[in-house]
Amino acid sequence: MIKINNSGPIDRVLFYILVPAFLINLYLIFVWSPVEKVMGDVQKIFYFHVGSAWVAFLAFCVVGFYSVLTLIKPKMERFIYAGISAEIGVLFTTLALLTGMIWGRASWNTWWTWEPRLITTLILWFIYVAYLFVRKMEGSWEKIAKLSSVFGIIGVINVPIVFMATRWWNTKLHPVVFGEGKDQTGGGMEPEMLATMFFSIFTITVLYVFLLRKGAQIEKMREVIKKAKTNIINKIAS
């Protein structure tokens, strides 16, 4: 008998942290944090926008980490974690891009502009979409794991470039949030806004860990089933 319920105590703890954290986060965003004077209500997109971008970076760093390990010694578990992390990374990069576009439309009066941060983020998104397609290729999983790991490592090199884009190319269009000014604090935000932003980052990070574990458990289960099916087929054949 194979156990279907694959969630352990860590998943339950994550879930019980996640639900209230999400509700508190919404309260902080919509009620507690002040309304920005120039942009008004639309600035409240910022909290999820920054959180999504942060989690996308984290997810791609995890892909990079598992990709390096896979290149050293291919193991199914490493391959699975890299794949699920890439999926979540693409999801949150999509969110960061879309919320950025909506915010840009409201504040810059355009959906898209060819600005360094946006271009590098779009390139990052394309690299990991390509990575996911490579993983779907036919063939032995070791070969695919090695090939996709190369993509994963190329992609993770782009992460610091995306982060530093606004600083290196010094564009004033996209604000620098972390480490601006002499005291290296958040770009002139109210303390309530800063606290809300950090709480959003925390909440979305917990969501990332929860989704990563859940996704990896499902994929591991799929592998167990594949092996069991092969065994049964071999039994019937013999």
Partner 1 sequence: MTYLLMGYSVIFALIAGYMMILGKRQKQIEKEIKQLEEWNQEI
CB 161 within 8 A of CB 123: no
Write down the least CB distance from residue 105 to partner 1, Å.
6
Binding mask 8-47 for partner 1 (x = CB under 8 A): ---------------------------------xx-xx--
Write down the least CB distance from residue 99 to partner 1, Å.
5
Residues 6+ apart with CB under 8 A from 100: 49, 118, 121
| Crossing angle for the helix pair 191-237 and 9-27, to the nearest 10 degrees | 150
The distance from CA 174 to its chain's CA centroid, rounded to whole angstroms, is 20
Write down the least CB distance from residue 172 to partner 1, Å.
22
Candidates 13-21, 130-138, 159-167, 223-231; binding stretch for partner 1 (CB under 8 A)? 223-231
Count of Cβ atoms closer than 10 Å to residue 224 Cβ:
11
Write down the least CB distance from residue 150 to partner 1, Å.
26
Tokens of 107: 């504040």
Binding mask 175-214 for partner 1 (x = CB under 8 A): --------------------------------x---x--x
50 lies in the binding site for partner 1 (CB under 8 A)? no
158 lies in the binding site for partner 1 (CB under 8 A)? no
222 lies in the binding site for partner 1 (CB under 8 A)? yes
Write down the least CB distance from residue 87 to partner 1, Å.
8
CA dist 30 and 34 (Å) reads 9
Candidates 68-76, 128-136, 149-157, 219-227; binding stretch for partner 1 (CB under 8 A)? 219-227
CB 157 within 8 A of CB 164: no
Tokens of 21: 């954290």
Sign of CA dihedral 56, 62, 68, 72: negative
Candidates 92-100, 114-122, 143-151, 171-179; binding stretch for partner 1 (CB under 8 A)? 92-100
CA dist 41 and 43 (Å) reads 5
Question: How many residues sit close enough to partner 1 to count as binding (CB under 8 A)?
Answer: 34
The distance from CA 125 to its chain's CA centroid, rounded to whole angstroms, is 10
Residues 6+ apart with CB under 8 A from 188: 180, 181
List residues binding partner 1 (CB under 8 A). 1-2, 4, 41-42, 44-45, 48-49, 52, 87-88, 91, 94-95, 98-99, 102-103, 105-106, 207, 211, 214-215, 218, 221-222, 225, 228-229, 232, 235-236
